[in-house]
Each structure stands twice: as structure tokens, then as C-alpha cells.
């Protein structure tokens, strides 16, 4: 009972915080949510470049995400670990989903909620490291196949 009350309290607290939705040069359906106190123009400029590089706004528009494809699972792990080490150094952690031939990365800031320059900085870092490790097209990435009988 106490655990469920605590979860409810935390959910109310999380979703009752003010969120600043700022306009910028994006369509009305894809206007990003920029964290309060953050330079809207700087985030918008950075975001514009990231969108050209294959990043997309997430569904609530308060984060960005991208999938990277690699030839081997080891390269996926190398990329994951490289990003994790930088995340720890910057004290800014993404959500990463690793599969046999891909790593999906999602950046957002939780406090204050919305996009920040740290999200865009880390997204650029991901692009740099993925290029260094060597990405491939999705159809060339490692796939899981059934084990031979």
C-alpha cells in the first residue's frame, strides 16, 4: 500500500511541474519542449542540425532519439560502453537499448524537463563515436538467426 501511494505521489509530482513549450522554426506538430531556463535559440539551432543527421523528436517532443546499426554485436557493445563512459563523466544519462546489430539512443533532460544543450551535446557525441566505430546500413547490420539444427 505504501509503495503504491509513493508511486502515485511521485507521478503527480513529476507531471505537475510546469513545462515550457516554446515556439521555434519547427512545424506546430513537432515543436520541441525546451527545458525552462535554457536558451531556446541555441537548442533550436543544435536540434535543427541533429534532425538533418537522422535524429527525431520523441513522442512527447521533450527528447531526441536515433538508432545506430553495426556489423557486429561487439561494435554495438563498444558504442554502448563509449557513450556510457561519457554519460557518467557528464552526469547525463540516456536510455539505450542494445540489440544484436543496433543501439537505440534516447536523450532527454528530466530536471528541468525538456531538451537542453546537454542533450544535443551528447547526441553529437553519439554521432562522432558511431562514425569512429563504424556504422552500417540497417540491412547490413548483425541479425539474430535461429541456431542451426
Please tell me the predicted confidence (pLDDT) of residue 4: 43
CATH architecture of 21-140: 2-Layer Sandwich (3.30)
How do the domains of the chain map onto residue ranges? Answer: 21-140
- The C-alpha atoms of residue 84 and residue 32 are separated, in whole angstroms, by 25
Q: In whole numbers, what is the pLDDT of the chain averaged over residues?
A: 83
pTM higher than 0.85: no
| Residue 95, phi-psi category: left (phi > 0), alpha (psi -120 to 50), beta (remainder) | beta
- In tens, the pLDDT along 45-103 reads 999 999 999 999 998 889 999 999 999 999 999 999 999 999 999 999 999 999 999 99
- Report the DSSP beta bridge partners of residue 106: 65, 95
Q: Are 26 and 32 in contact (CB under 8 A)?
A: yes
Amino acid at each position: 500500500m505504501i509503495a503504491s501511494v509513493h508511486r502515485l505521489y511521485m507521478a503527480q509530482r513529476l507531471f505537475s511541474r510546469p513545462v515550457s513549450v516554446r515556439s521555434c522554426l519547427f512545424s506546430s506538430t513537432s515543436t520541441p519542449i525546451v527545458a525552462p531556463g535554457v536558451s531556446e535559440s541555441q537548442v533550436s539551432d543544435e536540434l535543427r542540425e541533429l534532425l538533418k543527421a537522422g535524429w527525431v523528436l520523441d513522442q512527447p517532443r521533450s527528447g531526441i532519439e536515433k538508432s545506430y546499426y553495426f556489423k557486429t554485436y561487439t561494435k554495438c557493445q563498444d558504442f554502448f560502453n563509449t557513450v556510457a563512459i561519457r554519460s557518467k563523466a557528464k552526469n547525463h544519462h540516456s536510455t539505450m537499448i542494445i540489440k544484436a546489430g543496433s543501439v537505440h539512443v534516447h536523450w532527454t533532460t528530466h530536471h528541468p524537463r525538456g531538451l537542453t544543450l546537454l542533450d544535443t551535446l551528447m547526441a553529437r557525441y553519439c554521432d562522432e563515436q558511431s562514425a569512429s566505430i563504424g556504422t552500417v546500413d540497417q540491412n547490413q547490420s548483425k541479425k539474430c538467426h535461429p541456431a542451426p539444427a
